[in-house]
Structure formats: structure tokens, C-alpha cells
Amino acid sequence: MLSGIGWVLGCIVIPGTAFWLRDFRYMNWIALLPIGFLMLWFYFIPESPRWLITNGRISEGKEVLRNIVKQNGLSDQDFDQKFAEFTKHLLRNEESEKSTKTYTVLDLLKTSNLRKYTLIFWFSWIVVGVVELPSAFISITALRYIGRRTALIIFLIIIAVSSLAIIPTTDSTLKVTFALIGKFAVGALWWIYEVYVP
């Protein structure tokens, strides 16, 4: 999630950097600097406790889980006992997985519970993509008939009004409707920016 914030901050910094440097070659080098910091950041990210335990690094996995418990303000009462049970469970599952066949994407549809979640997520991804299509067509039409500046202003107004309308609304259906209108306008605005800004 933080990497997404970094992407947004990068978009914010680009205009000032372009105004200051005025040379795309230098801009490319400046854009590479955060990636260097990102490489350093990987040293501070803890490894997955599950991976550590299943690869025999149990004491490291225990320390990572203990830190997770502390950071989330949870009680560490009976931590050692719970960790021992968790480790035993993981190692038993690891052994059973090694002895079974390899899995395919069709295994996501085998049990009713897993099938339900799989289909919901697949449908959600399709819907997210489909919602973007009308915003693209609307923005193309807007650019064609009312121009870049007017289209930009209209969609910014729609975003502002729909965002503000959510605050006093108590009806959940209206809240979702305003949120979708705002999301639609953001999608359309993004397409307009692609044409306007370069």
C-alpha cells in the first residue's frame, strides 16, 4: 500500500522536477534514485514467518511473529505454546503437500467455499476492468466535442461533488452510488490527463 503512495508522490513531484531540470535525461536519472532507496528498504522488510518455519529457520520465524504480535498490540500470553502448535501445523501441512500432486488453477473450483470466493474475485476483476471502458469512451467523446479544458473542469467538478455528497449521506445505496460516480469520473479524468498533460 505504501508503494502505491510512493507512486502518487512521484506523480506529484514530476512537474516540479521537469521545470527545474528541463532535460529528460537528467529526469530519468532522478527517477531512478527512489528505486535505489527501495532496494535498501527490502533489507528492513521481515521475511514471511511461514517461509522461515518451513525452511527450518524456526527461531527467526518465532521472532518475526513475536514482533507482529507486539506491533498489533496483542497479548503474548501463551505465545510459546501457540507458536509450537502453529509450527507443528505448518510442518505437517508442508509434509502432506509434498506427498500430494501438484495443483492447477482448476483446484480453485473444487470445494464449494473455495469456488465461491474464487468466482467472486474473478467477477470483481472483470467488473473493475469493464467499469473503466465507459469512462474511456466518455472521455474520448468529451475531448472530441467539448475540448480538453472544459472536459477537465467538468470531471473535476463531478469528482468534488460526488466526494462531498458522500459525507452527509446516510443511505448506504446512495453512498455507493456517489462513490461509483466519483470513481467513474476519476477514470475519465485519467484518460483526459493522458492527452492533456504531454
- Contact by Cβ (8 Å): 50, 97: no
Q: Indicate the Cα dihedral angle 155, 157, 159, 162, nearest 10°.
A: -130
**Grid coordinates representing 7?**
507512486
pLDDT at 198 (0 to 100): 57
- Contact by Cβ (8 Å): 159, 189: yes
Task: Print pLDDT tens along the chain (198 aa).
Answer: 566 677 777 777 777 888 888 787 887 787 777 777 777 777 777 888 888 888 888 888 889 888 888 888 888 788 888 888 888 888 887 766 665 567 777 888 888 888 898 899 888 888 777 777 888 889 889 988 998 889 999 999 999 999 999 989 888 889 988 988 998 898 888 888 887 765
Cβ neighbours of 90 (radius 10 Å)? 17
d(CA 181, CA 155): 10
pLDDT at 55 (0 to 100): 84
pLDDT at 153 (0 to 100): 92
- Whether this prediction's pTM lies above 0.75 is answered by no
**Grid coordinates representing 4?**
502505491
